[in-house]
Amino acid sequence: MDFKEAQSKYAEVKGRLEAGTLSPEQFQAQVGQLRVQDGQGRYWAIDARSGGWLLYDGADWTPAQPPDGVSPLAPPTYPHTPGRRGVPIRVIGAVAVAALLCLVALGGGGLILSRSRGVRDEAVISQEQAGRIADHLIGEQFPDLRGAERTLASYENPAGAEFWTVTYRRQVQIQVEDGTYTIPRIVIVSVDKNTGQTSAAVSD
């Protein structure tokens, strides 16, 4: 994908968001897939909230000016939902579902970490805050996944608890008796929207 294709796709999903046919969570998940590699080998992505370009510096995605000839992007306008805060939670999102299926197929997974991030007064955790919390956990517990492909989505369990899910995915090579295989290494971090408590599931 080049910059022109990424801009075209961004304009398409932004239009669907503003028309109300795409939820903010679906919009951010789809924009999160728009990655571009420039002629110098650097990776670029679009910030779903601001519409600005992000440059990967080897550890983090940081705001940056795109190369000459690449136009700036307009920020999205989120539709207003009267009568309640937020957007109804219906699905995890296609990418998160695929990641969960990979965990089952690989025979791995399970909750391996659960702790509070110290959020006071049961503040509502925004998606941006959830991303920072998850990135911090990954940096501490799974440093090999720093800078991995990341997807944010939303989830409501059968008990009615609401979470942000942040899925990290990277292709890794493993050695087995009959050769070397490339498989996806996946960690899914769940962040409670009300308390900030985190848990992580990992593929073995």
Gyration radius from the chain CA atoms: 18
Q: Phi then psi for 4, rounded to 5 degrees?
A: -65, -45
Model confidence band, residue 94 (pLDDT cutoffs 50, 70, 90): very low
46 strand-pairing partners: 53
Q: Which pLDDT score is estimated for 160?
A: 73
Token pair listed for 72: 């700036």
C-alpha span between 172 and 149 (Å, rounded)? 13
186/192 Cα distance (integer angstroms): 20
Q: Would you list the domain boundaries of the chain?
A: 3-63, 94-202
What is the rounded average pLDDT of the residues 67-80? Answer: 67
Look at residue 106 in the predicted model and tell me its pLDDT: 44
Q: How far apart are CA 178 and CA 93, in angstroms?
A: 36
Res 158: pLDDT: 65
Please report which helix (H) or strand (E) contains residue 98, including its range. helix 94-106
| pLDDT score recorded for residue 199 | 84
Q: What is the pLDDT of residues 43-63, one digit of tens each?
A: 888 888 777 888 888 888 888
Tell me the C-alpha distance between 114 and 106, whole Å.
Answer: 22
Mean pLDDT for the stretch of residues 102-109: 46
pLDDT of residue 60: 81
Tell me if 52 sits within 8 A of 73, measured CB to CB. Answer: yes
Q: What is the mean pLDDT of residues 90-107?
A: 46
Q: Which of 74, 78, 85, 86 is nearest to 18 (CA)?
A: 78
Tens-digit pLDDT profile for residues 129-167: 888 998 988 888 888 888 889 998 988 876 677 888 999
